[in-house]
């Protein structure tokens, strides 16, 4: 996800985005990667979504303030502008990050485990927003581990377990055979295993 977003170089190979500029990509990292101790207000955090279009050194306009308020209203946090992000629950903070994506107005949206450790109501509300993005013709790519969420809300799936297992229509990809293969690969993989060359490479 980071390589697609342009925030990290791939260890091998390359990422081909075609003519898609990185500024048109919205990226939501995992919650564990975000430092909430920094003293930022909700409004300041959401308004960062506008930096892709205006640049980091230009001042926000009244229109941006209006759009920030509208984005917060869309995610159910109207009136939270002055709250510190550190005072929010996990679900409320995730709503703030989705509001920031709304302000960015990206054509491609990358979500890395966006529904982990948040309440069911927030998950339901944010999935509604994902469906709205899809209806607007935006591309939404999400890393998920809940297969029911995938089946219900994402029409295309890439199933991975150490490597790509299958890609295509979700109903076909999430077959019993493919899920069994993915589960077996995940269960037999050890992060402490030594790195070995294949027989072909040693010969």
The pTM for the full model equals: 0.85
Supply the CATH number for residue 108's domain.
3.40.50.300
| Number of domains composing the chain | 1
Question: What would the pLDDT profile of 159-173 be if each residue is shown by its tens digit?
Answer: 999 889 999 999 999
Paired residues of 156 in beta bridges: 169
Mean of pLDDT values over 82-93: 95
Statement: residue 196 has pLDDT above 70: no
In a domain, 163, yes or no: no
In the 3-class helix/strand/coil scheme, how is 128-190 assigned residue by residue?
HHHHHHHHCCCEEEEECCCHHHHHHHCCEEEEECCCEEEEEEHHHHCCHHHHHHHHHHHHCCC
Range of the domain at 142: 2-154
Using the predicted structure, report yes or no on whether residue 140 has a pLDDT greater than 90. yes
Q: Which is more confident, 117 or 31? A: 117
Question: Does residue 192 belong to any structural domain of this protein?
Answer: no
* Domain assignment present for 50: yes
pLDDT band at 134 (very low <50, low <70, confident <90, very high): very high
Query: Residue 29 domain-assigned?
Result: yes
Residue 199 pLDDT more than 50? Answer: no
For 190, the token pair is: 């050890």
Does residue 57 belong to any structural domain of this protein? yes
The alpha carbon torsion through 97, 100, 102, 106 (nearest 10 deg) reads -100
Determine, yes or no, domain membership for 179.
no
By three-state DSSP, how is residue 71 classified?
helix
CA-based torsion, 1, 30, 93, 46: positive or negative: negative
In a domain, 183, yes or no: no
Domain presence at residue 122: yes
pLDDT at 43 over 80: yes
pLDDT in tens, 180-193: 999 998 887 665 55
* pLDDT of 158 strictly over 80: yes
Per-residue confidence band for 56, with pLDDT thresholds at 50, 70 and 90: low
């Amino acid at each position: 996800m980071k390589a697609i977003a342009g925030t990290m170089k791939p260890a091998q190979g390359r990422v081909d985005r075609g003519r898609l500029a990185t500024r048109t990509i919205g990226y939501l990292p995992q919650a564990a990667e975000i430092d909430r101790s920094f003293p930022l207000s909700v409004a300041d955090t959401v308004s960062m979504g506008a930096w892709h279009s205006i640049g980091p050194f230009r001042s926000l306009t009244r229109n941006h303030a209006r759009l920030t308020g509208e984005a917060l209203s869309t995610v159910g946090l109207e009136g939270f502008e002055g709250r510190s992000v550190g005072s929010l629950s996990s679900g409320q903070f995730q709503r703030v990050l989705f509001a920031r994506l709304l302000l960015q107005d990206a054509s491609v949206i990358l979500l890395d485990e966006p529904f982990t450790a948040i309440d069911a109501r927030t998950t339901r509300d944010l999935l509604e927003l994902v469906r709205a993005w899809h209806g607007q013709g935006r591309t939404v790519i999400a890393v998920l581990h809940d297969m029911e969420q995938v089946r219900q809300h994402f029409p295309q799936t890439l199933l991975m377990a150490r490597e790509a297992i299958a890609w295509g229509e979700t109903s076909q990809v999430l077959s019993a055979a493919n899920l069994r293969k993915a589960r077996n690969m995940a269960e037999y993989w050890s992060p402490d295993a030594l790195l070995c060359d294949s027989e072909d490479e040693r010969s």
